[in-house]
Chains A and B, each alone.
Chain A
Amino acid sequence: AQKVTQAQTEISVVEKEDVTLDCVYETRDTTYYLFWYKQPPSGELVFLIRRNSFDEQNEISGRYSWNFQKSTSSFNFTITASQVVDSAVYFCALKFKGGSEKLVFGKGTKLTVNP
């Protein structure tokens, strides 16, 4: 079964705090792809990152960083020095090769950054 679990439903932090959003996935496939999307109140899902199953290198993009660990089936997302504009719902998603064109989404984590 393909499944994505985002155990944190809502997180609230104060501006400039660091925050980590957890994502745990399940898949039987050896080749798969993981994604993070941001959905601000406007509704659009904004693509943040794609990670291939064979590439465990962590990635940093400005204040954003991602920690991919196959041993624990996790793909966590950290925002450093959070800002009010980071307030959004964040979705982790999984796609597996050779099976389906479907993106399997987690339930999302709502992040509120307070000034």
Chain B
Amino acid sequence: DTEVTQTPKHLVMGMTNKKSLKCEQHMGHRAMYWYKQKAKKPPELMFVYSYEKLSINESVPSRFSPECPNSSLLNLHLHALQPEDSALYLCASSQDVQVAEAFFGQGTRLTVV
């Protein structure tokens, strides 16, 4: 099973809303990631969690707040987003942060209105 599950698949939110994106994996992976992908661009790394600790924050604005409640779950809390934050948000996991390939979820298509 190489499945990473993301919910919701689509999300429309206003600029004053608070919402959360959820990601789950049951492969025993110890590294989890959030990526942001704009149309016709490659994914851009936002955050990396390694053994449930935040190891990389790629200078992401504080209106994005990651959380890793346990080794299987990864959340991304959203607050006061801007229309330019509209994008595909991809979660991924890998066995470790150094070598192993990452497996991606289907993503959440976020639209900020």
Q: What is A's interface to B at a CB cutoff of 8 Å?
A: 33, 35, 37, 42-47, 50, 91, 95, 97-98, 100-103, 105-108
Contacts and interface: CB of A to CB of B under 8 A. Distances in A.
5 contacts: A43-B90, A43-B106, A44-B105, A45-B104, A95-B98
B55 interface: yes
Interface residues of B, number: 25
B99 A45 contact: no
B25 interface: no
Interface in B9-38: 31
Contacts of B50: 101
B98 A42 contact: no
B112 interface: no
A44 B107 contact: yes
A105 B42 contact: yes
Contacts of A100: 56
